[in-house]
Amino acid sequence: MPSENIEQRKLAAIMFTDMVGYSALSQRDDRLALELLEEHRHLLREIFPRFYGTEIKTIGDAFLVEFGSALEAAQCAIEIQRTLAKRNHDVTHDRRIELKIGIHIGDVIHRNGDVYGDGVNIASRIEALAGAGGICVSMDVERQIRNALEARFEKFGSADLKNIKLPMDLFRIVLPWETGAKPKRDATWFSKKRPLLAAAAAVMLFGLLFGWWLMQRSGRNRQPAAAAPTNVVPAPPANVADQKSLAVLPFVNLSDDKGSEYFSDGISEELLTVLQKIPGLRVAARTSAFSFKGKNATAQEIGQKLGVARLVDGSVRKSGDNVRIAARLTRADTGEQLWSENYTRDLKDVFAVQTELAQTIVAQLRGQLTGGAADPVIQAQVQAAEKGGTRNVEAHQEYLQGRFYSDRHSEAGAAQALTAYQRAVQLDPSFALAWAGLAQTHVWNCEFSTEGGLAGFDAHLTAAREATERALSIEPNLPEALLARAQVQLFDFDWNGAAETLRTALVKAPANPALLIAAGNLAITQGNVERGIALYREVVALDPVNPQARSYLAFNLAATGQFADAQAEYPRVVEL
């Protein structure tokens, strides 16, 4: 057909990957070579869509992948090498998977499903220079990401690349786990960050020194037990799962469009949020549940680490106006499947599917939760937990994208989240959760943005106030909006107002980690350290891999002389 010959020219970041030693391994042991090749493809294909990479093709043991930005390509490459480094740590040398990765940004031509041009040719040439486990980038890539990437660069020097007319300056990304690797920032970055860095460094240094001093002082004042071994971190108590507890794991995106990951993540995250609000049910927080995304952990491993008795997982396949959601409930201790269901519906019916999912999961556990309550009670609980939503399909998808970008906790992500939330409230002005998401994103910018100075801060704070009030005018006790209000009140130094707001929110969502952390921080600020520690303990129980909550808990335990507990927490903070 004529359309098959249409060419599209665009600027894109191109990544080439290549397995080290694959040809030699194929000659020695073709069965093992094929096994490692398939494992490598599976691992990489799980990582590409997380950074909006589009797989163009495989060439034997190599991948050609296109990205919309050089930063996303570099972040993807680092995540690939990090994943393989962790994997290789636990296998014998002959089963190691090592890659060389090259990245260039330039003009490319799309034709008949393939990509051509200098952008592709240069990326393929510099990949060969990367070395096992390394990442090599062109000068064009380095220029674009040098101030945005949490890594430093080492210059290779100029290289004459085959079939490329001019010599090109090349750089190696020094990966954080490499020996001697140190983050590098230029003078511009430091000038922007200096006030924030100084304050953060002072607080952190004080905390670490104070904690160390207290631990040393405590150690000198204690008499060692006769049979106790030295330098042993006390083991945490046995993790006995509450039978009313569960974790909602990220649903797998099975859509042909890998860019639909926001949708599969959003479905599972919304289900998690609703279940968090059901009385009597303890749900592992998002940070902990999503830490298993893309990992091959067993049900027992997940249950033990999160301290839960049940697991919910599933998959989402979105195609046009249709969506297929598969979900199941399993026992964490045995992996036994307790319930499963498949839903194939029109996209506009996804809201009914989410409600049915939540009601069914609660019903499966209702013996523990409500003593065999009738279905109308469960329905009322779920309906109350779903308040603030929308029935507008387009607004819902924009909202899910907003949450997806917000969860990146970066300035670029925050900018994309603001755009998505704004579109959501334009499509449905009565969408209270979208207004709350908009407010929280403006608050994030007040706390972390490096752009706009004081004028930018004031603009974000004003926008956060307005969005918060819009959300609460629609749904007066929406926990997500109350969190934003409390954060604004803290900026206004209205401690009592913030305390009252958080109390109201925690009645509605007692298992929300963000609310608990905010309440804990406020309690510490007001001098109620005992309550602050109790709240941090609640967060850690709900969200055991949350480094922020664990660091707050460890410091305040040490500061109040609870040295044995502090000594157990600090190694966990370092590990996270």
**How do residues 182-239 score in pLDDT, each as one tens digit?**
444 343 433 444 444 444 444 444 554 445 444 444 444 444 433 333 333 333 334 4
Residue pLDDT, tens place only, 293-319: 877 778 888 998 898 999 998 888 888
**C-alpha distances in angstroms, 290 versus 69, 77, 286, 300, 302?**
25, 21, 6, 16, 11
- 486 neighbors 445 (Cβ within 8 angstroms): no
Query: How do the residues of the chain divide into helix, strand and coil, expressed in percent and rounded to 5?
Result: 55, 20, 25
**C-alpha distances in angstroms, 61 versus 17, 33, 52, 98?**
8, 10, 21, 11
What average pLDDT score do residues 152-175 get? 68
Please give the Cα distance from 290 to 286 (Å, whole number).
6
> Which pLDDT score is estimated for 429?
96
Higher pLDDT, 526 or 165: 526
Q: 296 is written with which tokens?
A: 């091959």
| Residue listed under structure tokens 């393929």 | 124
Low-confidence winner among 208-212, 227-231, 341-345, 360-364 (lowest mean pLDDT): 227-231
534: left (phi over 0), alpha (psi -120 to 50) or beta: alpha
Residue 44's contacts (CB-CB under 8 Å, 6 or more residues apart) are 17, 63, 80
> Which pLDDT score is estimated for 178?
60
Question: For the domain 393-575, what is the CATH superfamily, name and number?
Answer: Tetratricopeptide repeat domain (1.25.40.10)
**C-alpha distances in angstroms, 254 versus 76, 265, 292?**
20, 12, 17
Higher pLDDT, 563 or 34: 34
**C-alpha distances in angstroms, 324 versus 252, 318, 346, 362, 412?**
12, 6, 9, 21, 31
| Cβ count near 293 (within 10 Å) | 15
- 169 neighbors 157 (Cβ within 8 angstroms): yes
Residue 354's contacts (CB-CB under 8 Å, 6 or more residues apart) are 267, 270, 271, 274, 386
User: Is pLDDT of 156 > 80?
Assistant: no
Whole-number average pLDDT of the chain: 81
What average pLDDT score do residues 23-33 get? 84
CA pseudo-torsion sign 424, 425, 429, 430? positive
Q: 241: which DSSP letter?
A: P
Characterize the bridge pairing of strands 242-248 and 8-19.
unpaired
User: Is pLDDT of 443 > 60?
Assistant: yes
pLDDT band at 177 (very low <50, low <70, confident <90, very high): low
What average pLDDT score do residues 244-257 get? 84
User: Is pLDDT of 425 > 80?
Assistant: yes
Please give the Cα distance from 174 to 217 (Å, whole number).
39
User: Is pLDDT of 408 > 60?
Assistant: yes
**Residue-range domain boundaries for the chain:** 2-184, 242-385, 393-575
pLDDT band at 157 (very low <50, low <70, confident <90, very high): low
Q: Which of 152-161, 183-192, 245-254, 468-477 has the highest mean pLDDT?
A: 468-477
> Which pLDDT score is estimated for 232?
33
User: Is pLDDT of 348 > 50?
Assistant: yes
| Residue listed under structure tokens 């290779």 | 156
- 525 neighbors 486 (Cβ within 8 angstroms): no
Class of domain 242-385: alpha beta
> Which pLDDT score is estimated for 172?
87
The β-bridge partners of 116 are 109
- 103 neighbors 14 (Cβ within 8 angstroms): yes
> Which pLDDT score is estimated for 414?
92
Class of domain 2-184: alpha beta
> Which pLDDT score is estimated for 366?
63
What average pLDDT score do residues 422-439 get? 96
Residue pLDDT, tens place only, 456-498: 899 999 999 999 999 999 999 999 999 999 999 998 889 899 9
**C-alpha distances in angstroms, 258 versus 27, 271, 320, 327?**
35, 21, 13, 20
Cα torsion at 494, 460, 272, 429 (round to 10°)?
Answer: 110
Percent of the chain scoring above 70 in pLDDT: 83
Residue 462's contacts (CB-CB under 8 Å, 6 or more residues apart) are none
> Which pLDDT score is estimated for 161?
52
* Cα separation of the two ends of the chain: 55
| Cβ count near 241 (within 10 Å) | 18
366: left (phi over 0), alpha (psi -120 to 50) or beta: alpha
Please give the Cα distance from 55 to 572 (Å, whole number).
37
Please give the Cα distance from 65 to 544 (Å, whole number).
35
| Residue listed under structure tokens 């952008």 | 119
Please give the Cα distance from 101 to 137 (Å, whole number).
8
